[in-house]
Amino acid sequence: MRFMESQDESVLLWLDEIQRGINDSNNNIKEAANLAFGISAINKSLEKGDSQPILMTLQSRFGLRVIPECAEAYFRNLSEAKNMKTTEGSSESPWIKLVMKAMYDYYYNVETEEGTCVAPKGVVPKTSWLTGEEIQNIAGQVTADYNREQLWLANENLIVGLQARARGFLVRRNYRERKAYLQNQEPSAIKIQAFWKGFKQRKSYVDRLNVLRGNVAAIVKIQSWVKMWLARRAYRKRLQYFRDHNDQIVKIQAFLRANKAREDYRTLIGAENPPLTVLRKFAYLLDQSDLDFQEELEVTRLREEVVTKIRSNQQLEKDLNLMDIKIGLLVKNRITLQDVVLHSKKLNKKSKSQLEEMVMVDKQGIKGLSKERRKKLEAYQHLFYLLQTNPMYLAKLIFQMPQNKSTKFMDTVIFTLYNYASNQREEYLLLKLFKTALEEEINSKVDQIQDIVTGNPTVIKMVVSFNRSARGQNTLRQLLAPVVKEIMEDKSLIINTSPVDVYKAWVNQLEMQTGEASKLPYDVTTEQALTHPEVVNKLESSIQSLRAVTDKVLTSIFSSLNMMPYGMRYIAKVLKSSLHEKFPDATEDELLKIVGNLLYYRYMNPAIVAPDGFDIIDITAGGQIHPDQRRNLGCVAKVLQHAASNKLFEGESEHLSSMNTYLSQTYQKFRNFFQAACDVPEPEEKFNIDEYSDMVTLSKPVIYISIEEIINTHSLLLEHQDAIAPDTNDLLNELLEGLGPVPDIESFLGEGAVDPNDPNRESTLNQLAKTEISLSLTSKYELREGEDQDLKSLMIKTKRLIVDVIRTQPGDTLLEILETPATAQQESENLKLVEKRAILDSKTPEKMKHSQSIFEDGQLPIEQKKRKIQRNLRTLEQAGLVSSATKYQEIINEIAKDIRNQRRYRHHRKAELVKLQQTLNALNSKTAFYEEQINYYNTYIKTCLDNLTRKNSRRSIKLDGKEEVKGSKKLKQTSLKYTAARLHEKGVILEIEDLQTNQFKNVMFDITPGEEVGDFEIKAKFLGVEMEKVQLHFQDLLQMQYEGVAVMKMFDKAKVNVNLLIFLLNKKFYGK
C-alpha cells in the first residue's frame, strides 16, 4: 500500500502498520472460520434433516436478518439446493474452501474443525455442500419473497379495488357500444319488418274477403244445418253411452283422479323442478291444524317436564350423595343428627320451594312487565340462541377453561342449553357441538393417536356422560339388562380366573371335608398354585364357563347395533374421520381400536362391571350385588375389553393364554361391529334439518335454565371473549356489548325479592340463584323494515307470500301470476284466508307465534303481496339465490321442499311424543327409586335418633330440630372459658401469629353453644378486652375432618388442631 502511494521501492513499514496488518489478517481468518463453521453447521443440519439449528446459524454465523416465520422455507430451499448439487463419491475430502475479501483462500476441515490459509496437499474441496454465498443468496431470496408476500397481503384490498374498477370500466364500455349499435339500427329493422308483414296480411285478407262476400247466404245456411245435426247426434249418442256405463265411468273417474293425485304427489316429491300447478294442489299442507297445535303444545309440555325431571333427579342424586356423607359423619361423631334431619326435609320440600321461586321470578324478576326488563330478557334470549346454533363459540369456551371447571360447565349449562337433547332440533345442534369440539380437541391437543386412549379427552367424556343419562340409559338397559340378569341369576355360575384365589378356595374345601388342617401352605404365588392339577382343572372349568357367558354378551351386543344411540355412533364416525385426517398414515385397525375404546370400553364396559351403578338392573334401597356376581361380571368385562382392543393375555395373565385364539376371533367380530357402527348418515339427513328449519317450525325453541347458570355463562363469555370471538365484528361481541356487565342475582329477581336486613341474606340469594326460568330463544337478526335484509329470512317471507298468492290466484308460472291483476273474487278469497289466519293466530300460544313482521305480511291484499314478492325476488336474484331466466323455479323448489319437510316433521313429532313419554316414564321410575332411598335414609335417621336420645343424658334432639331437657325445662348451656395457654397445653391451639407463647395466658377464649344444635360462638379476649368473635358450625369441622384438613385458622391468626377441637367440644358439650 505504502509503495503504491509513494512509488518508492525503499519505503519501509512502521511497527504499528505491521501490527495493524497482522490484526486485520487475524480478524479476516476469524471471520472466515466463523463463516466456515456456519457453512458446516448448516450443511450437516441439512444432511440430518434437522431444521432447528438453521435459523440460529443464519443469524449468528452469517449475520443475516432472518424471519422466524420462514424457518421451514429456509430449510426447504436449502435442502432442495443441496440435493441439486452433484456428489463425486469417495474422492471428495472433508475440506471446504472459502475466499476471504475476494483475494485470499481459506480451508476448513469440517471433521476436525481445523482451519488454514494454506491449501493442504492432495485435497479436493467439497463440492456437494452449499457454499456461503449460495446459503446467503437462498436465505436472502426466501426473506425477500416473504416480505414481498406480506406487501401484497397488506395492499390486497387496494389491488382488488383497482381490478374491480378496471373490469367495471371495460364492461360498461362494451355495454355502451353494443347498446349504441342496436339503437342506431333499430329504425331500419322495424321499417323492413313492418312493410313485409303488412303486405302479406293485406293480401290474405283481401282474398278471403272476396270469397266470403260472394257466398254469404249459402255458407250461413249450410253451416247452421250441419252444426245442428252434428251437435244433436253427438249429444244423444254421448248421453246414452253415459247412461249405459254409469258405474264404470264413476270408477274410471275415481281411478284417474287418484292416479292424478298420486302422480302429482310423486312429482312434488321426486321431480327436480315441480311445476307450479302441482305445487298449488298441495299448498294447503303448509297450514297448521288444531291437531298440530295440540301436538306441539304436548311436545313442549313433555319436553319441559323431561328437562325439569332430569335436573330434579340430578339434584336429588347430589343431595343423596351428600346425605350419605352426613350419615357417615353422624355414625362417626354421633352428634350432627339435626343437620342430617334438616337435609332430609330439604329433599322433600325442594319441588315446592322451586315452584314458588319460579313464580316469584316470573312476577317481579327479569320476566316482569317493564320495557327495560323485557329488553334484557330478549338480549339473553338472543345470546343463548346464538350460542345454541353456533357451536364454535362453546367449543372454544370449553377448552379455554380448566378441566375441572369445564366439566361442571358441561354438566350444567351446556346440557341445559340443549334441553338434554329432548327433541330432534336440539339433539342435532348438540351433536354439532360435540363434532366441532371433538375436532377442535383432536387438532389442538392430540399429538399421538394413542392420546385418545391413554388420556381422558374432554369431549369424549362429555359424550359418554350424556349418552349414559336418562336419554341413553334406556338403550343401555335394553341392550345389556337381559344378559346381565341371566348371569347374575345363575347361582351355579362361579368364574374365578385367579390361580391364587382358586388355590385358597380348594385348600379351604379340603379342610372342611376332612376336618383337619391342611399341610399345604396358604400363601403361594401364581406359579406355585398352577403346579397343582386340581387348581388347573378348576381354572380350565372357569375359562370354559367364561367363554360361554362372554358369547352370550357378545350376541346381545352385536345384535343390538340399531339400538345404540345415534349420537354415540355419529361421534364414533367423527372420531374416526378426524383421526384419519390428522394421522393419514394410521391403519384401519388402529382407528377401529380407538372407536372400540369409545363404544365399548367407555360406554358399555362400566355398565357391565357395575350394573347397579348405571341402572341396568333394579337394586332395592340398601341392597347390593354379591361379590361372586360382581367377580363374574368383572371377568366377562375383562375378556371383552381385551378382545375389543385385540390385546392378548400375556405376562401376569399368562395362565389365560389358552383364550388368545378366542380373543383374536372375537376381535374380528368387534372390528366388523365398529365399522358398521360408524356407518351412519349425517345429522342433516338423519333429522332432516337445514338452515331454514327454525323458520318453518311452529314453536320457538325454549330452554329452562337457572339464574346462576345464566350469570356464570355471561361471566365466562366476557372472561374469554377475546379467545372465542377475536373478530371485533363478530355477532357475539355485539350481543355481549348490548348486555353490558354481568348482572347480580337481585337484578334477576327484582327489587324487594330479598329483605336487605335479613341476616341470612347471602344464603337466601344463593338458594334463589338456583331458580329456573324459561327462555324462548330467538335470533336477533331477523328481517325488519329499514334494516339490512337477512337473505335467509327474506327467502322464508317471500315463500310465505307466494303460497298465499298461488292459493287464491291461478296461473301456470309465477311470472304470469305476478303480472296478472287479481280479480275481485280472488281478493275476496284472500280476505277469507286472512280472517281465518287471524282467528287461528288468536288461539296460538305466545311461544308458538311467528314474528310480527311475518304476521303483518300475511294480512296484506293480493296486489300488495305481489309487489312485495317482486321486490324480494329482485333482491334474492341479486344475491344469486333465484333467477328470472328460470321463471324463479328455484323458490318454487324450495316451497316444495318445505311441503315435504312439513309432512316428515309431523311424523317425527309423533315419534318424539312417544319417545318423550318413554323417557318421562323412565325418569319417574328413577325418581321413585330415589324416594325409596330417601325413606330408607329417614328410617335409619330415626333409629340413630332413638339411640342418641337413649345414650345422651344431657340433651335430646327431636326430628324438627328443637331441643328438650328431661323434666320439660329448657337447658341453658353454660359457656366454657379457657386461656390460650390451657388450650395450647391440650394441643388445641398450635400458635397465634404475632404473639409469644408466654403471652398465651393473657388471651381468653369463651366458647358458647348457640340456639341450634352444632352452632357455637367463640369470643377472644386479650387482657379482659373482647377482641373478636366467630361463629363456628360443628358440621364444618366434621367436613374438614372428612376432607383430611388437620389445621384450620381461627380469627385469621390462631392455628387450631381440628381433631382435638372436635374432641374438646364432644367431651364438654355432648358427654362423649
Res 965: pLDDT:
40
| Residue 177 banded pLDDT, cuts 50, 70, 90 | very high
List beta partners, residue 1049.
Answer: 1055
Res 37: pLDDT:
77
With beta carbons less than 8 A apart as the criterion, state whether 401 and 716 touch.
yes
| 925 DSSP assignment | H
Least confident range of 160-169, 210-219, 728-737, 792-801:
792-801
Q: What cell numbers appear for 370 in the block? A: 317493564
Q: Which amino acid is at 343?
A: H
With beta carbons less than 8 A apart as the criterion, state whether 446 and 582 touch.
yes
Q: How far apart are CA 90 and CA 111, in angstroms?
A: 15
Q: Sign of the CA dihedral 25, 27, 32, 36?
A: positive
Q: What cell numbers appear for 528 in the block? A: 406355585
What's the mean pLDDT in 746-756?
66
DSSP conformation letters of 77-123: HHHHHHHHS---GGG--SEEEEEETTTEEEEEETTT--EESSPPTT-
With beta carbons less than 8 A apart as the criterion, state whether 705 and 773 touch.
yes
CA dist 589 to 170, 450, 460, 640, 644, Å?
59, 13, 20, 17, 11
Alpha helices for 515-626 (secondary structure H): 526-529, 533-558, 566-582, 588-596, 605-609
Res 305: pLDDT:
77
What's the mean pLDDT in 1052-1069?
79
What's the mean pLDDT in 1012-1030?
76
Question: Beta-carbon neighbour count of residue 53 at 10 Å?
Answer: 16
Residue-wise burial string across 236-270, b where 16 or more C-beta atoms lie within 10 A, e elsewhere: eeeeeeeeeeeeeeeeeeeeeeeeeeeebeebbee
CA dist 711 to 307, 716, 717, Å?
20, 9, 10
With beta carbons less than 8 A apart as the criterion, state whether 987 and 1047 touch.
no
Question: Beta-carbon neighbour count of residue 156 at 10 Å?
Answer: 9
Q: Which amino acid is at 525?
A: T
Classified as helix, coil or strand, 379 is helix
* pLDDT tens readout for residues 59-92: 777 777 788 888 788 888 888 888 887 655 556 7
| 390 DSSP assignment | -
| Residue 234 banded pLDDT, cuts 50, 70, 90 | very high
Q: How far apart are CA 698 and CA 847, in angstroms?
A: 9
CA dist 987 to 1057, 1060, 1063, Å?
7, 7, 11
pLDDT > 60? residue 141: yes
| Residue tagged 344431657 (cell numbers) | 954
Phi, psi of 977 (to 5 degrees): -120, 125
Which is more confidently placed, 332 or 795? Answer: 795
DSSP conformation letters of 355-404: HHHHHHHHHHSTTSSSHHHHHHHHHHHHHHHHHHH-HHHHHHHHHHS-HH
DSSP conformation letters of 1001-1025: GGEEEEEEE-SSTTEEEEEEEETTE
Q: Which amino acid is at 889?
A: Q
List beta partners, residue 702.
Answer: 776
- Count CA within 13 A, CB hemisphere, residue 290: 3
Least confident range of 63-67, 333-337, 674-678:
333-337
Q: How far apart are CA 843 and CA 326, in angstroms?
A: 52
Q: How far apart are CA 621 and CA 633, in angstroms?
A: 21
* pLDDT tens readout for residues 77-135: 888 888 887 655 556 778 877 777 767 777 787 777 778 877 777 677 777 788 877 88
pLDDT winner (highest mean) among 733-747, 1009-1023, 1035-1049 = 733-747
Contacts 24+ apart (CB under 8 A), 987-991: 987/1057, 987/1060, 988/1056, 988/1057, 988/1060, 988/1061, 988/1064, 989/1054, 989/1055, 989/1056, 989/1057, 990/1047, 990/1055, 990/1056, 990/1057, 991/1054, 991/1055
Q: How far apart are CA 1003 and CA 1024, in angstroms?
A: 8
pTM: 0.48
pLDDT > 50? residue 363: no
What's the mean pLDDT in 185-207?
90
SS3 content of the chain, % helix, strand, coil (to 5): 70, 5, 25
List beta partners, residue 1055.
Answer: 991, 1049
With beta carbons less than 8 A apart as the criterion, state whether 314 and 770 touch.
no
pLDDT > 90? residue 143: no
Res 109: pLDDT:
79
With beta carbons less than 8 A apart as the criterion, state whether 617 and 485 touch.
yes
List beta partners, residue 781.
Answer: none
* pLDDT tens readout for residues 558-610: 888 888 888 888 999 999 999 988 888 888 888 988 888 888 888 888 888 88
pLDDT > 90? residue 226: yes
Phi, psi of 693 (to 5 degrees): -60, -40
What's the mean pLDDT in 168-175?
94
Which is more confidently placed, 783 or 627? Answer: 627
Q: What cell numbers appear for 418 in the block? A: 340443549
| 42 DSSP assignment | H
User: Which helix (DSSP H) or strand (DSSP E) does residue 466 occupy?
Assistant: helix 458-467
